[in-house]
Amino acid sequence: MALILPAYAKLNLTLDVTGRRPDGYHEIDSVMQTISLHDLVWVERTDCRVFEVVGTPIDGENLVLKAARELEGRVSRNLPFTLRLFKRIPMGAGLGGGSADAAAFLRAANQLYDLKLTSTELVEVATNVGQDVPFFLSGGTARATGLGSTIEPLLPFPASWRFLVVCPPVAISTRSVYAAVDGTEPTAHRTPALVRALANENAIEFGNDLEGTSRRLFAALDEAIEPLRAAVPGMAMTGTGAAFFAGFQDQRDAEKALATVRRLGYPAWLCHPVPAAS
């Protein structure tokens, strides 16, 4: 038996950095949203472990394999599998592709091996894999607080909206960006405002406290965003970058913006919000 699951990318519609802990890690407050851009995770229960990536090779530690190790430790047994990962989400762009893949694997393995882990138990495993991974177990629209792994579901983002996602070819180090944030700059508190706007159907505003730091550290990102914003005003960064996005309530406006950005030569996608998994 094999399972094929989509692993949806996410956007940080807002990202507030609310403090720095004594251990150096940062507290955040973010509205996160899964979008239709996705990888595919094909998993089959087998007698030996085979892992294959179709698409762009993955640099550094693979979170799917880390998820497998954490899950095996939790259930105290080997879980051999054949897994083919079809990569579509740009890596190192703040779109959460690796975390989405890991969460899809955890859900698939729980079913394939009849592990009967509860949602709470899966979240515990996911948190050990990465702070973003718990969000991807269900996705949808949610508020992430603490280190990012404390998830509160929100009212679904309006399904009629479209997100233009643009990914300049700039390699961003998440570790370097957070290391440069010393906690002295006040947050813009965009997250509470967006939560209220979603609840009351008010005007929606996106934004990210980390943008200034990412642009200071990575000159190529700073150079890329100026022509993008000239073409499509109001673009916001997701994660630590390099991907930016803009939201549209009108499909035709979104398609025009997509055509404009593609003339600049950057990879771009038009996406819709994906609701939480049941």
Active-site residue, 256 included:
no
Q: What is the pLDDT of residue 25?
A: 86
* Residue 255 phi, psi (nearest 5): -65, -35
SS3 call for 97: helix
Instruction: Tell me the C-alpha to C-alpha distance, in Å, between residue 242 and each of 8, 197, 200.
Output: 18, 26, 31
Q: Is 239 left (phi over 0), alpha (psi -120 to 50) or beta?
A: left
- Tokens representing 277 are 């998994």
| Residue intervals in the chain for CATH 3.30.230.10 | 2-153
Give the strands of the sheet with 268-271, arranged side by side.
Answer: 236-237, 244-248, 162-166, 268-271
Active-site residue, 116 included:
no
Of the candidates 114, 132, 209, 222, the residue annotated as catalytic is 132
E-assigned strands of 46-140? 50-54, 81-86
Bridge-based pairing of strands 244-248 and 236-237 is antiparallel
Q: For residues 71 and 260, what is the distance between their CA atoms, to the nearest angstrom?
A: 45
Classify residue 61 by burial, with Cβ atoms within 10 Å: 0-12, 13-18, 19+. exposed
Give the pLDDT of the chain (278 residues) as one tens digit per residue.
789 999 999 999 999 999 888 887 899 999 999 999 999 999 999 998 889 998 777 666 689 999 999 999 999 999 999 999 999 999 989 999 999 999 999 999 999 999 999 999 999 999 999 999 999 999 999 999 999 999 999 999 999 999 999 999 998 999 999 999 977 788 999 999 999 999 988 889 999 999 999 999 999 999 999 999 999 999 999 999 999 999 999 999 999 999 999 999 999 999 999 999 87
Are 137 and 120 spatial neighbours (Cβ–Cβ below 8 Å)? no
2-153 placed in CATH 3.30.230.10: yes
Q: For residues 193 and 177, what is the distance between their CA atoms, to the nearest angstrom?
A: 25
| Residue intervals in the chain for CATH 3.30.70.890 | 162-271
Instruction: Tell me the C-alpha to C-alpha distance, in Å, between residue 163 and each of 17, 45, 57, 149, 160.
Output: 23, 36, 26, 24, 10
* Residue 64 phi, psi (nearest 5): -65, -45
Q: Indicate the DSSP class of residue 158.
A: P
Per-residue burial over 97-133, b = 16 or more CB atoms within 10 Å of its CB, e = otherwise: bbbbbbbbbbbbbbebbebebeeeebbebbbbbbbbb
Instruction: Write down the CATH superfamily of domain 162-271.
Output: GHMP kinase, C-terminal domain (3.30.70.890)
Of the candidates 10, 16, 101, 209, the residue annotated as catalytic is 10
Are 270 and 254 spatial neighbours (Cβ–Cβ below 8 Å)? yes
